Chains A and B, each alone.
Chain A
């Protein structure tokens, strides 16, 4: 398992795509948070982390599927599914390794982007203390959301081999889970009935709760169940597929 994770993580950085995509991501974050009018901190007016976390929730919606589909799509491209099977590596193990490697990439992105937060709190003139508890809570929520995006992207790619199609579908499914259900719950037809449950089906609801320091068992179960179910479904699909 360890050798598989290391291989997957190294694979990501072994070609220019890995470095370029992270660099572009960080550049986009810089442009949106500091340069582009309306979306930057100067327009926001508050030197707090909220804008950063909101922005990254949506940025990861595209970024995570963009790099995660490659983890599985490359196996199809190189025909190495056959190699994994001949090495008696079951898909559950392989998918877990890919999940962990993709999660490590996400953590690297978040660590590198944390400089924005550091700068923001340096600009804060009203308070000299940094709300570490709130920041850590928000980061946990963001990582949990990212982990769900990774698991969903792997699941979609296990069903759809074409890279572009699996990216588009992954983004759609991630969006629906992040805020699609929440938006649907606002429809008058669901008011006073299903709106409560639809709201709780959305990733953003649980991420917001954690960001506000409310760590409920239901949120933990929600994130773990979503990741586990996605990995299980992918592994079921790939194990039953002929190579």
Chain B
């Protein structure tokens, strides 16, 4: 199972939104699509989902099925949650609709509200209904456009766990404005800028949800293994002339801990500065 796009271009009037976009994704990948507003993220996702057609280029998904949850998450507000999911299942010609709907309701945590009308639900629950509808047919490729909009921190954590749990045999593409979200979930990030993929890089998945870099300049050489053992330090690399780069993944600022360790090694700090993660630097 793979997804291959070649030279995808799309314009709206005189505005070129996508300009010869190439990408190739494989099973098991969680891919983050990052870009500013108007970069063409939603347009690219809609083309992959088969909602809109490209002006040029080709898209190959083989026999793979595609599930798409739009940024707007359109739902029929007057329908009941179970009624809506049953209707979506009927439309997708899913066999054994009842048990599949029950599975989706359970999977995304809608059991408490399954008997309610959609217009009575909070934004977070509506997002879950959209996600449940996307998962109903067990698609091979799942596209989530800004999926955490409106979710509270607990719901975001639950949603991340859910996405990770279903990712092993699927291709998941998600777009977000939040770099932390991409860092926390994705194996790979695509940066879309002016309709082109500006960056395509693999990511080390964040554990704490807050990645940053510390640049350290000392008066002498450092025992790097001691620093690498500190909580939150992912990697230490030398920049030459007693300068080091520390990749950190920690919820809090660990510069005081680093300071203590450097002092313990009998060294003096000439400079210590915290920088945004490399992804943030790319994004800016």
Taking a contact as CB atoms closer than 8 A, the residue among A3, A14, A243 that contacts B91 in the complex is A3
CB distance from A53 to the nearest CB of B (A): 34
Segment at the B interface, from A77-85, A129-137, A171-179: A77-85
Residue A89 is within 8 A (CB to CB) of chain B in the complex: yes
Residue B72 is within 8 A (CB to CB) of chain A in the complex: yes
Complex contact B51–A14 (CB within 8 A): no
Interface of chain A residues 209 through 243 with chain B (CB within 8 A) = 242-243
Q: Which residue of B lies closest to A14 (CB)?
A: B78
Taking a contact as CB atoms closer than 8 A, the residue among B12, B87, B92 that contacts A7 in the complex is B87
Complex contact A78–B87 (CB within 8 A): no
Q: Which residue of A lies closest to B50 (CB)?
A: A88
Taking a contact as CB atoms closer than 8 A, the residue among B50, B74, B88 that contacts A78 in the complex is B74
CB distance from A136 to the nearest CB of B (A): 35
Taking a contact as CB atoms closer than 8 A, the residue among A11, A82, A242 that contacts B76 in the complex is A11
Rounded to whole angstroms, the CA-CA distance of A67 and B122 in the bound complex is 30
Complex contact A80–B74 (CB within 8 A): yes
Taking a contact as CB atoms closer than 8 A, the residue among A15, A78, A81 that contacts B75 in the complex is A78
Q: Given the complex, which residues of B lie within 8 Å of A187, measured CB to CB?
A: none
Rounded to whole angstroms, the CA-CA distance of A8 and B90 in the bound complex is 14
Residue A87 is within 8 A (CB to CB) of chain B in the complex: yes
Instruction: Please report whether the interface of chain B is mostly helix, strand, loop or mixed according to DSSP.
Output: loop
Q: Which residue of A lies closest to B143 (CB)?
A: A86
Residue A107 is within 8 A (CB to CB) of chain B in the complex: no
Q: Max chain B CB contacts within 10 Å: which of A4, A15, A86, A243?
A: A86
CB distance from B221 to the nearest CB of A (A): 58
Interface of chain B residues 21 through 52 with chain A (CB within 8 A) = 46, 49-52
Residue B77 is within 8 A (CB to CB) of chain A in the complex: yes
Q: Given the complex, which residues of B lie within 8 Å of A78, measured CB to CB?
A: 74-77
Complex contact B75–A80 (CB within 8 A): yes
Taking a contact as CB atoms closer than 8 A, the residue among A11, A83, A242 that contacts B12 in the complex is A242
CB distance from A236 to the nearest CB of B (A): 15
Interface of chain B residues 50 through 81 with chain A (CB within 8 A) = 50-52, 68, 70, 72, 74-79
Interface of chain A residues 75 through 109 with chain B (CB within 8 A) = 78-83, 85-89
Complex contact A83–B74 (CB within 8 A): yes
Q: Please judge, given known A-B contacts A3-B90, A7-B87, A242-B12, whether A83 and B52 are in contact too, CB under 8 Å.
A: no
Taking a contact as CB atoms closer than 8 A, the residue among B72, B90, B91 that contacts A82 in the complex is B72
Taking a contact as CB atoms closer than 8 A, the residue among B50, B78, B91, B92 that contacts A4 in the complex is B91
A-B CB contact pairs (8 Å), 7 listed: A7-B76, A83-B75, A86-B51, A87-B88, A88-B50, A242-B52, A243-B52
Interface residues, chain A, with chain B CB atoms under 8 Å away? 3-4, 7, 11, 14-15, 78-83, 85-89, 242-243
* Shortest 4 CB-CB contacts between residues of A and residues of B: A79-B74, A3-B90, A14-B78, A85-B51
Q: A3-B91, A15-B78 are in contact. List 18 more A-B contacts (CB 8 A).
A: A3-B87, A3-B90, A4-B91, A7-B87, A79-B70, A79-B74, A80-B74, A81-B74, A82-B51, A82-B72, A83-B74, A85-B50, A85-B51, A86-B49, A86-B68, A89-B91, A242-B12, A243-B51
